[in-house]
Amino acid sequence: MSAGQAPPPVIAVDGPSGVGKGMVTRWLAQQLGWHRLDSGALYRILALAARAAGVNLDDADAVAACAPGLDIRFVGATEADEAILVGGQDWTRVVRAETTGGLASRIATAPAVRAALLQRQRDFRLPPGLVADGRDMGTVVFPDAALKIFLEASAEARAERRWRQLSQAGVNASLIDLCAEVRARDDRDRKRAIAPLAPAADAVVVDSTHMKPDEVLAEIGHLLRQKSLSA
Ligand code: C5P
């Protein structure tokens, strides 16, 4: 980008775990032909890489020190053909594992870890535009985003959606345990001192507790048109 040129536009999609941010950002990126950033995956990969290197996950400086050396590539645009390559190896399954989300939220409370990933996230801002999903896209990473969406849904609704997904994949899971996990992660994300999960002052909050996926996308499409954002 040359001096004086406006940076590519960003749409920030924030919200708690399991609320459907992935579905919304994939759809938006496809509609607009823009790049996509799954910032949660970066926290997940960093936690896994630090653990694999024998680092104590409570030692924030040591975890942060693992970030610069990570060679991360996201391949594919849909959930079905998506692959996450770390150092050329396919880490997709382990990155997406439920337990990895817990590890990520543990390291994500540390300012040193968040600082280590900040520029890396901003580097995804490339023409023609970026759709970014996470917890602090609209508040910290891209405060100048053209559109900020904050997706909400009750913990029960999110746990139930996750339970259905797992059942369809043939995985036996306890709805009660899933609900407890969702609540524990929410608590940690919302109460942490730095970049807590919260809507930006200028975010549009979409509560999908009682909405079907196509109703959520229709609402997001409406917001796009209001902002005159298109491919
Ligand atoms: O979105 P995902 O579930 O993959 O994120 C895993 C964890 O990483 C979250 O629970 C949260 O603690 C952390 N995270 C974060 N900031 C982001 C994205 C994720 O703190 N922008």
Q: Give the residue extent of every domain in the chain.
A: 10-225
Q: What is the pTM for the complete model shown? A: 0.93
Tell me what pLDDT residue 78 has: 78
User: Distance of alpha carbon 221 from its chain centroid, rounded?
Assistant: 20
Phi, psi of 98 (to 5 degrees): -55, -45
* pLDDT, tens digit, 9 for 90 and up, residues 138-184: 999 999 999 999 999 999 999 999 899 889 888 888 999 999 989 98
Q: Give me ligand 1 centre to Cα 76, in Å.
A: 21
**Residue 185 beta carbon below 6 angstroms from any ligand 1 atom:** yes
Kindly state the percentage of the chain with pLDDT values over 70.
Answer: 98
Give the three-class secondary structure for 128: coil
Query: Nearest residue CA, atom 21 of ligand 1?
Result: 134
E runs forming strands in the chain: 10-14, 35-38, 72-75, 83-86, 89-90, 130-134, 147-152, 204-207
Nearest residue to 19 (alpha-carbon basis) of 101, 76, 139 = 101
Ligand 1 pocket test, candidate residues 45, 46, 135, 150, most atoms within 8 A of CB: 135
- Cα 210 to chain centroid, rounded: 22
CB of residue 44 inside a 6 A radius of ligand 1: yes
Element (H, E) at 62: helix 60-65
Per the CB < 8 A criterion, the answer to whether 159 and 21 are in contact is no
Measure the N-to-C terminal CA separation of the chain; round to a whole number of Å. Answer: 20
Confidence check: pLDDT of 2 > 70: no
> Is ligand 1 within 6 A of the CB of residue 39?
yes
Query: Would you identify the CATH topology of the domain 10-225?
Result: Rossmann fold (3.40.50)
Round to whole Å and give the CA distance between 203 and 145. 10
User: Ligand 1 center to residue 2 CA distance, Å?
Assistant: 32
Is the pLDDT score of 98 beyond 70?
Answer: yes
Range from 107-111, 185-189, 217-221 carrying the lowest mean pLDDT: 185-189
At 13 the three-state DSSP class reads strand
pLDDT, residue 189, reads 87
CA of 198 to the centre of ligand 1 (A): 13
Residue 113 confidence (pLDDT) above 90? yes
